[in-house]
Amino acid sequence: MNENKYDVIVIGAGPAGYPASIRAAQNGLTVACIDEWKNRDGSHSYGGTCLNAGCIPSKVLLESSELYFRSKSEFKEHGVVIDKVGLDLGVMQARKGNIVRQLTRGIEALLKSNGVEAIRGHGHLIDGTTVEVTDAEGKRKMVHGDNIILATGSMPMALPEAPLHNSLVVDSWGALEFEEVPERLGVIGSGVVGLELGSVWQRLGSKVVILEALGDFLPMVDLDVAREVHRSLRGQGLDIRLDARVTGTAIGENDVTVTYIVDGESHNLEVDRLVVCVGRRPFTDGLFGENAGVELDNRGFICVDNSCRTAVPTVWAIGDVVRGPMLAHKGTEEGVMVADLIAGKFGEVSYKIIPSVIYTSPEVSWVGETEAEVKASGIAYKVGTFPFLANSRAKSMDQSKGLVKLIAAQDDNGILGVHIVGPLAGELIAEAVLAMEFSASVEDLQRTMHAHPTLSEALHEAALSADGNAIHMINN
Ligand code: FAD
Ligand code: AMP
């Protein structure tokens, strides 16, 4: 075999690219996975945004900061008395770094153990079967693949009104690396990332103000759930200003003045650090040679069909660089699908059944359609809700804020959407995803036994409540 010739070449080793590589290898194909991730210190590690600067470091800090916050404010409710709770941010950050290192090294080991050739460097698509790789020293080589999978991910979107500035104005990655707790923290954007990062620093002691241009809070989330999240986060002290469009920033010696407009009136906000979280853009910089033949849409996403095929028959694209929600698990499933299709097997992604989670406290999760979307579709539907206040496990955890809401079709009892705000919502949503994936009806959920006392009983009760039969609900 030509040493630079593979059945499959994957460009990008994030949560879309590395599972695609592993599954292709499991399917008996020869695979090369090219990745150019660069850490702050210039070193390379596998796992892309998710492991190095996204899902994992943010969840580690959310976990640590929640423990800190709860130990200060809630443990005494349990009769657990701690004289003085202190914060060692250095230890907290070092723990985060260790976890990221373990996991990224784990990816490297997985690629190796599956026989994937991991190549560090920049991949440049010359044509449908050729990639030029440039390594860190600038050395170039050509590699050839019968199929090529593009999994180059995304980058934080820049906001011209708030350009990044050293450690004063940072993106989401920068906000995961603070070495001191900023006294006053500004966050631009109340999307998922802005809320999670705002929560971390607010719990650790920052006075956090979130500026959001839109008038609606979490517009993609079911209205009942979004209202509950808004109420809870404000109750914790997060100052979320809606309808507030940032128009400029002025950098001081140790602070930043943010200018924003509400109702046509200009306001100033002084903060010690500012985080820009206004979304992410698909990343294809330096990816395409002039004969690559791959098309981009007007927002820069690589155009693909439902099976992630590009306009070039041998080139596929997956993950954040293509349409659909920018979520790690969505990219992973696309990677697995494509690797199976290349091997001649069945492969499909259920694009209508993608779970989303926001790891705030309380957590938020959902799958399927919101009530507003179902209503707009014009079909007859019913809604079941159940509050965690009436769930014994949530009570015992002292985390009984929130609810489960289930929306189902009136005619065939099919589950159309499930929306959760409450403890471990991100774990609970898995049951709803499985139910929808298996086309379970509300009655199937109603007749499924749930262990007691568990949080999952709240989903069971919401399903019962869709037909007015919840057991633990007081009738008004
Ligand atoms: P990426 O993870 O971006 O990986 C792409 C890889 O390709 C990178 O290593 C990049 O260096 C490499 N690359 C790019 N171009 C080239 C090239 N030409 N040659 C070689 N290599 C190249 N999602 C969730 O599902 N859950 C979460 O909790 C969550 N939390 C998040 C928190 C934050 C703060 C952020 C920023 C994101 C979060 N996300 C979360 C989103 C998630 O990180 C992305 O959806 C996911 O990483 C996308 O995976 P990907 O493989 O498509 O791209
Ligand atoms: P997301 O795309 O979910 O990560 O969220 C990014 C958020 O940033 C969106 O809700 C945008 O409305 C918000 N946003 C974008 N530009 C501005 C701006 N100039 N001022 C305030 N918020 C903004």
Ligand 2 centre distance from Cα of residue 276 (Å): 9
At residue 18, φ and ψ (nearest 5 deg) are: -70, -40
Q: Which atom of ligand 1 is nearest to the CA of 175?
A: 34
Q: Which of 282, 283, 341 has its CA nearest to residue 309? A: 341
What does the pLDDT look like over 12-61, one tens digit per residue? 999 999 999 999 999 999 999 999 999 999 999 999 999 999 999 999 99
Reduce the DSSP state of residue 466 to 3 states and report it: coil
- Residue closest via CA to ligand 1's atom 26 equals 55
What does the pLDDT look like over 367-397, one tens digit per residue? 999 999 999 999 999 999 999 999 999 999 9
Residue 59 CA: which ligand is closest? 1
Q: What's the confidence (pLDDT) of residue 475? A: 74
Q: Which atom of ligand 2 is nearest to the CA of 192?
A: 3
Domain ranges of the chain: 5-156+281-342, 169-278, 362-465
Q: Which residues line ligand 2 (CB under 6 A)?
A: 159, 161, 188-193, 211-214, 245-246, 277-279
Distance CA 168, CA 346 (A): 50
Ligand 1 centre distance from Cα of residue 211 (Å): 25
Q: What's the confidence (pLDDT) of residue 474? A: 84
Pocket test for ligand 1, best of 38, 49, 63, 100 (most atoms within 8 A of CB): 49
Per the prediction, the chain carries an average pLDDT of 97
- Does this model's pTM top 0.85? My answer is yes
Cis peptide before 362 (omega within 30 of 0): yes
C-beta of residue 46 within 8 angstroms of C-beta of residue 107: yes
- Domain 362-465 adopts which CATH fold? Enolase-like; domain 1 (3.30.390)
Q: Which residues line ligand 1 (CB under 6 A)?
A: 11-17, 34-37, 48-50, 54-55, 58, 122-123, 151-154, 172, 193, 283, 286-287, 319-320, 326-329, 331
Distance CA 425, CA 236 (A): 18
What is 169-278's CATH number?
3.50.50.60
Ligand 2 centre distance from Cα of residue 345 (Å): 41
DSSP 310-353: -SSTTEEE-GGGSSS---HHHHHHHHHHHHHHHTT------TT-
Distance CA 154, CA 174 (A): 16
Q: Give me the residues of the chain with pLDDT under 50, please.
A: 1
Ligand 2 centre distance from Cα of residue 246 (Å): 9
- Residue closest via CA to ligand 2's atom 17 equals 213
C-beta of residue 101 within 8 angstroms of C-beta of residue 87: no
What is 5-156+281-342's CATH number?
3.50.50.60
What does the pLDDT look like over 402-415, one tens digit per residue? 999 999 999 999 99
Residue 37 CA: which ligand is closest? 1
* Domain 169-278 identical in fold to domain 362-465: no
Distance CA 210, CA 190 (A): 6
